[in-house]
Amino acid sequence: MTPRTDLVTALLGIWFGAGLMIDAWAHGNLSKLETFFTPRHAVFYSGFVVVSGWISWQVWRNVRAGRQGLAAVPTLGLVVTMMLIISTPLRSAWNAPDVGARPSLGRLLPALLGLAFATTLVSLFLTYGDALHYRPQAIVQAFSMAQNSGAPPRGAGPVAVGPGAERVAVAMVVTNVVMLAPVLFLVRRWLLPFGSVTVMYAVIALMPGAQTGFRNLPILLSFVLAGFVSDLLIRQLRPSSERRAAYWAFAGLSAFAIWSLYIGVASATGGGLPAVPELWTGAPIVAGLIGLALGALFLPNATPAQPVLPGATATGRE
């Protein structure tokens, strides 16, 4: 598919995804939604109809061009769920010969948007474990509690974590994996242009923002800032499938940065540092270790650069 076709697909996917976010906001913030015929559903389902029409149009064009059978169906036509529809630009860019190993932000933007909106679907179905739903005050309060008492006495040994802290800590682990995995997936394939992770995290933050009516805006903005920090790490470390150490370092440091900013912003806007130091200092470290484990899982062995044949165009990393 051409870059222009991918861009149109991405934009229509935004329509589709935005409709779902609006509907999620309505179910989380409005009452008496018994009827199916609502403006929110109109946006959502009209997006579905338009995307379906666009897919059909591409198939028809390919048939007229002489393709037969599955050859007439573009990558974006082989879909059975919304997830596959909105991730179409990513699959198209993955094998596009003009993308190369170091694409520009503009060329990769449709793929980034598609994968980001696909990630929002995952976060929607994991709402019960989404750390972006908590307000700053709730995070500070949760990490200020030890079981049966306030902060434990000095020298009392391991902290007995209260229920509030347990829930926030588990949500951080779940969200850490959901947010970081797509980025690590992309970094294996391309040296991402600066701004890529910022764009993705800004889009991903829209779903929990819609569900909470953006009442937790400082936490959402902390993730956008974390995306910027991750872009800086990519520029500095240049992680790739050929540079395993840099890839692992990026995975661990990016996760650590995300959750350090999460707790830092929560503390700055939610009443100060939590009362239990072991919790608010340990959580980002645990997140970083989980990120490192994800990096090892995604890239257990470095991939050697592919040799460039005489007369061929280099598509591997320099």
DSSP state of 17: H
Amino acid residing at 1? M
Q: Is 72 exposed, middle or buried (0-12, 13-18, 19+ CB in 10 A)?
A: middle
pLDDT digits (tens, 9 = 90+) for 66-114: 665 555 555 463 334 567 777 778 888 888 888 888 999 999 998 998 8
Round to whole Å and give the CA distance between 162 and 40: 39
Strands in 198-277 per DSSP E: none
Any idea which residue has 């912003």 for tokens?
A: 265
Residues 6 or more apart whose Cβ sits within 8 Å of residue 106: none
228: phi > 0 → left, psi -120 to 50 → alpha, else beta; which? alpha
Q: SS3 helix, strand, coil % of the chain, rounded to 5?
A: 70, 0, 30
Give the global pTM: 0.69
- Concatenate the DSSP letters of all residues of 278-316 into one string: HHHHHHHHHHHHHHHHHHHHH-SSPPPPPPPPTTPPP-S
pLDDT tens-digit profile, the chain (318 residues): 667 776 677 677 777 677 767 777 666 666 665 555 666 667 767 777 777 777 777 777 777 776 655 555 554 633 345 677 777 788 888 888 888 889 999 999 989 988 998 888 888 778 888 999 899 999 999 998 854 444 444 443 444 443 488 889 999 999 999 999 999 999 999 999 999 999 999 999 988 888 788 889 999 999 999 999 999 999 999 999 999 999 999 999 999 999 999 999 999 999 899 998 988 999 999 999 999 999 999 999 888 765 444 444 444 443
**Gyration radius of the chain's alpha carbons:** 22
Token pair listed for 250: 């990026």
Round to whole Å and give the CA distance between 160 and 166: 10
Residue 191 CA from chain centroid, whole number = 17
3-state secondary structure of 116: helix
